[in-house]
Structure 1
Amino acid sequence: MGDEVAVRRRRQPEQTGQPRRIPQQRRGRERFEKILSVALELIEKNGSDALKMSEIVEKAELSFGALYQYFPDKSSIIRTLAERFNEQGRACVEAELATVADAETLRQALCNIADQYYAFFRQEPVMRDIWIATQADRLLQQVDAEDMEFHAQALFSVLAKLAPERSRSELIAVARLTMQLLAAAVRYAISLDDAEGQAAITLYQRMLPADIARLS
Structure 2
Amino acid sequence: MSDTMDCVTQGLLRRIPKQERSRERIDEILKVSMDLIGSKGIDAVTMKEIASLAGGPIASIYQYFPNKSAIVATLYMRYVDGVGMFIREGVSRIVTVDDVFTAIDCIIDRYYENIRRTPALQDLLNATQADKELALLDLQESRNHARLFSDATSRFVAADRRDEFERMVFLMFHMAEAAVRLALLADEHEAGLIIEDFKSACAVQMQRFLPGSEADA
TM-score (norm: length of structure 2): 0.81
What corresponds to 1:206 in structure 2?
200
What root-mean-square deviation, in Å, do the aligned CA atoms of Structure 1 and Structure 2 show? 2.2
The verdict on how the C-alpha distance between 1:211 and 1:101 changes in structure 2, with shifts beyond 3 A counting, is farther
Query: After superposition, where does 1:33-182 map in structure 2 within 5 Å?
Result: 33-182=27-176
User: Offset at 1:34?
Assistant: 2.1
Structure exhibiting the larger radius of gyration computed from Cα positions: 1
Q: How many residues align?
A: 199
- Partner amino acid for 2:199? Q
- Partner amino acid for 1:22? I
Give ranges in structure 2 of 5+ residues lacking alignment: 1-10, 212-217
Cα shift readout 1:36-55 (whole Å, capped 9, x = no counterpart): 12212211220112221122
User: Offset at 1:140?
Assistant: 1.9
Cα shift readout 1:72-130 (whole Å, capped 9, x = no counterpart): 11111112112222222112111112222344321221111111111111111111211
The verdict on how the C-alpha distance between 1:181 and 1:41 changes in structure 2, with shifts beyond 3 A counting, is closer
The runs of at least 4 consecutive aligned structure 1 residues that moved more than 3 Å come to none
3-state SS of paired residue (1:70): coil
C-alpha distance in structure 2 between counterparts of 1:183 and 1:166, whole Å? 29
3-state SS of paired residue (2:133): coil
* Percentage of identical aligned residues: 31
**1 or 2, which has the higher helix percentage?**
2
- Is the Cα–Cα contact under 8 Å of residues 103 and 211 in structure 1 kept in the other structure? no
